[in-house]
Amino acid sequence: LFTKLRGENPEFGEKVVPIAADYEAFDLDISEKDKLTLFNEVEIVFNIVASVKFNEKLRDALGINVLGTKKVLELSQQMRRLKSFLHISTLYSNCHRKYVGERCYSPKITYEQVIQINRIADNDTFETIQHCLIGEMPNTYTVTKRWAENLVNHVAYGMPAGIFRPPIVVSIYKDPVPGWMDNLNGPGVIIVGSVRGFIHCIYGDKLQKANIMPADYCINAMVAAAWDTYRRYQSRMEQQSELPVYNYIYEKNNLTWEKYMHLVSKGLHEPFVKAYRKIDTVLEMMSYFGLRDWKFCNNNVLQLNKLISYRNRQLYSLDFEMEKINWSDYFRHYIPGIKKYHFKEDIKNLQKSQMHYKRLYILHRLVKTSFWSLISYLLFRQFFCAFEKFVVN
């Protein structure tokens, strides 16, 4: 992942200072020396760390997505040089709504209330009332991300802060390594299931938008949003307006699930059986998103795109317009990237795998053709026998 950067700047590692932290600790358990470094040096904070498991226990998801955000926010408030705090949420933090504007929506149960309940309730009690706390949201991930948004919107009101809502993030499109990926959370399991031949269909409406975005485009948009958050800060304070929210999605060139599955199906299929149970669970969780359609306001993102000059766009590779993505070209790197970076397979064997897939595909078609031919023959035979008896009688 860092080969290109290492070639351009071999000393880049000297600019990276790792800070050890424990999200379960009251104050993140950061050493006093590291705190001084953060307080005196840091200018921009991207609050990215989160639990992205849809079926995470609510208390665990709350601990990372809400309480973890609260701790990072409190730490950031002590940073003397802070210019921008960007909280990374999700496009689906308000997925119970048909229309999602670039604003925060107040939940029926506030983040203060759920933090208080979490503090006083034992595990059994909390587990019992979990479904009441989740309410109309589909899972613990989306509900805790919604609480985290409201926490940031309230606590960070006087800070140069903003909220960025990315869609489903998939592997890199262009820079620095096409096809690179490091996890299979959520839709990643569907991707691998399709590539490996487990999945030929998913629960969903084929005409609905998939809302997926390559990681490098998403990161470019985050960097631009952090800059815009800083640019807006003074005028926002004067107008006493809420934090800017960026719904990072576009209407144009947004793949439908039908197109997505068609492109994925061109991957290299290697069928086996034992992973079906896990995949079935993921398909069930993802069906909520595959069967629904949303309308997202993205005026802030559209304006942000206009504000980035051509020179800066070229100098810093800040492309994040969805319209510029050639999805067919993207998927040519996407599938080999899964094999190379997740399964650690030798990409030189790609041609051999493709030949193997073609043989399996031909066998698959032959079996299907033979099956339906047999069914047709048996039906015809039954019909012919019945017709003969009718004629004789």
- pLDDT per residue as tens digits for the range 21-58: 998 888 899 999 999 999 999 999 999 988 888 888 99
State whether 235 and 382 are in the same domain. no
Q: Residue 231 pLDDT more than 70? A: yes
What does the pLDDT average to over 220-230?
96
State whether 226 and 375 are in the same domain. no
- Among the three residues 327, 345, 363, which one is the final residue of a domain in this structure? 345
Task: Tell me the angle at which helices 257-264 and 327-337 cross, rounded to the nearest 10 degrees.
Answer: 50
Question: In the prediction, which pLDDT does 281 show?
Answer: 64
Its pTM stands at: 0.83
Q: Residue 320 pLDDT more than 60? A: yes
Question: In the prediction, which pLDDT does 272 show?
Answer: 45
Question: What is the band of 159 on the pLDDT scale with cuts at 50, 70, 90?
Answer: very high
What does the pLDDT average to over 305-313?
87
Residue in this structure with the two tokens 């307080």, named with its chain if needed: 39
Q: Which of 181-185, 309-313, 325-329 has the lowest mean pLDDT?
A: 181-185
Q: Which of 45-49, 237-241, 274-278, 285-289 has the lowest mean pLDDT?
A: 274-278
Average pLDDT over the chain, rounded to an integer: 86
CA distance 301 to 225: 8
State whether 123 and 240 are in the same domain. yes
State whether 354 and 311 are in the same domain. no
Q: Which of 157-166, 189-198, 251-260 has the lowest mean pLDDT?
A: 189-198
Q: Which residue segment(s) compose the domain that 372 sits in?
A: 349-392
Does some domain include residue 111? yes
Does some domain include residue 171? yes
Total domain count, the chain: 2
Does some domain include residue 87? yes
Does some domain include residue 158? yes
State whether 364 and 256 are in the same domain. no
CA distance 209 to 372: 33
State whether 290 and 387 are in the same domain. no
Question: In the prediction, which pLDDT does 269 show?
Answer: 47
Q: Residue 270 pLDDT more than 50? A: no
State whether 243 and 186 are in the same domain. yes
| The residue type at 312 | N
295 burial level (CB within 10 Å; 0-12, 13-18, 19+):
exposed
Q: Residue 338 pLDDT more than 60? A: yes
State whether 290 and 379 are in the same domain. no
CA atoms within 13 A on the CB side of 93: 29
Q: Residue 188 pLDDT more than 90? A: no
What does the pLDDT average to over 218-228?
96
State whether 110 and 148 are in the same domain. yes
Instruction: Tell which wins on pLDDT, 278 or 301.
Output: 301
Does some domain include residue 9? no
Does some domain include residue 240? yes
Does some domain include residue 377? yes
Q: Residue 283 pLDDT more than 50? A: yes
Instruction: Tell which wins on pLDDT, 38 or 280.
Output: 38
Phi, psi of 205 (to 5 degrees): -95, 120
State whether 321 and 367 are in the same domain. no
Residue 144: CATH number of its domain: 3.40.50.720
Query: Within the chain, what is the greatest distance between any pair of CA atoms?
Result: 101
State whether 362 and 289 are in the same domain. no
Instruction: Tell which wins on pLDDT, 94 or 355.
Output: 94
Does some domain include residue 22? no
State whether 136 and 94 are in the same domain. yes
